[in-house]
């Protein structure tokens, strides 16, 4: 797992050891996961949707009847749940008791609970250690809110996706989710543990008027340019 499929472009970017990380951060509904998945497939890297990991814990809390607003109870569950890191079909994900919860983590209830669970410092510490271990699968395209600032701040490949609040609300509505974008942004920016920030060296892309293919093309172009520059500098 984590190796470039036969027939894909090969070069300094693709045959690196140790593996590299492409960090794609951004606010809610900025297109992080969609674009990260496209970029990962184009490069033959492993895609890591860190938001799905937090959703998985939120789903498990609801399943076990744990009050997500009780930080101590959430922390206790996070410390004892039987979650394992697996890579399936080019995607790294958390299995719970050996099973993938799948679409169950995408319900409205889980969406509402996730930012509450994600704000717990002990949960973010657990997730940080788990997300860093994804490197065992190879080079990664990892999307979230603190990848370039907290999880892999050392990576030279950092991107921050943004879009207007109105556009992001429209995207959420298209998914059948009524999310208060302004309130979610406020929670993410103000949380004590690893708040949403733009890394100083991140490339910011506002995709309010861009398709996913256009956005991912910009990311891929910049990654390839930076990879060539890094390769030449090391020679």
Pick from 27, 31, 12, 53: nearest CA to 139: 12
Q: Return the residue matching tokens 């999307």.
A: 143
Q: pTM of the entire structure?
A: 0.84
Neighbours of 103 (CB within 10 A): 7
Distance separating alpha carbons of residues 20 and 155, to the nearest angstrom: 7
Q: Please, where are the H alpha helices in the chain? A: 32-43, 50-63, 71-80, 108-118, 121-132, 165-174, 181-190, 212-234
Cis-peptide into 4, omega within 30 deg: no
Short-list 90, 97, 76, 103, CA closest to 36: 90
Q: Which of 127-136, 140-149, 198-207, 219-228 has the lowest mean pLDDT?
A: 219-228
Instruction: Say what the pLDDT of residue 38 is.
Output: 96
Q: What is the pLDDT of residues 109-156, one digit of tens each?
A: 998 899 999 999 999 999 999 999 999 999 999 999 999 999 999 999
Rounded to the nearest angstrom, the gap between the alpha carbon of residue 43 and the centroid of all alpha carbons in its chain is: 17
Q: Which domains does the chain have, with CATH numbers?
A: 21-223 (3.40.50.300)
Report yes or no: 199 and 22 within 8 Å, Cβ to Cβ: no
Residue with the larger pLDDT of the pair 30 and 215: 215
The closest alpha carbon to 100, from 84, 114, 112, belongs to 84
Q: Give the pLDDT confidence of 40-51 residue by residue, as tens digits.
A: 999 999 999 999
Model confidence at 81, pLDDT cuts 50, 70, 90, reads very high
Residue with structure tokens 């929670």? 187
Q: Would the pLDDT of 4 be above 70?
A: no
Average pLDDT over all residues of the chain:
87
Please say if the pLDDT value at position 185 is more than 90: no
Would you list the DSSP string of 55-70? HHHHHHHHHTT--TT-
Give the mean model confidence (pLDDT) for residues 171-177: 79
Environment class of 211 (CB within 10 Å of its CB; exposed 0-12, middle 13-18, buried 19+): exposed
Question: For residue 8, what pLDDT band results from cuts at 50, 70 and 90?
Answer: very low
How far is it, in rounded angstroms, from Cα 47 to Cα 26? 16
Report d(CA 161, CA 151) in Å as an integer.
17
């Amino acid at each position: 797992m984590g190796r470039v499929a036969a027939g894909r472009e090969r070069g300094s970017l693709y045959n690196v050891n140790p593996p590299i990380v492409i960090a794609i951060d951004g606010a809610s509904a900025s297109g992080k996961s969609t674009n990260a998945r496209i970029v990962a497939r184009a490069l033959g890297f492993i895609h890591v949707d860190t938001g799905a990991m937090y959703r998985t814990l939120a789903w498990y809390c609801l399943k076990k009847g744990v009050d997500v607003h009780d930080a101590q109870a959430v922390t206790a569950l996070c410390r004892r749940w039987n979650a394992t890191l697996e890579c399936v079909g080019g995607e790294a994900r958390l299995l719970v008791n050996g099973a993938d919860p799948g679409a169950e983590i995408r319900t409205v209830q889980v969406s509402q609970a996730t930012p509450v669970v994600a704000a717990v410092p002990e949960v973010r510490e657990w997730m940080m250690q788990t997300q860093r271990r994804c490197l065992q699968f190879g080079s990664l395209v990892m999307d979230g809110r603190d990848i370039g600032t907290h999880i892999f701040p050392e990576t030279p490949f950092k991107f921050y996706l943004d879009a207007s609040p109105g556009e992001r609300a429209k995207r959420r509505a298209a998914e059948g989710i009524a999310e208060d974008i302004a309130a979610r942004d406020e929670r993410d920016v103000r949380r004590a543990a690893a708040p949403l920030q733009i890394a100083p060296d991140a490339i910011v892309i506002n995709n309010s008027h861009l398709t996913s293919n256009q956005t991912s093309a910009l990311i891929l172009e910049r990654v390839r340019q930076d990879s060539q520059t890094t390769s030449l500098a090391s020679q």
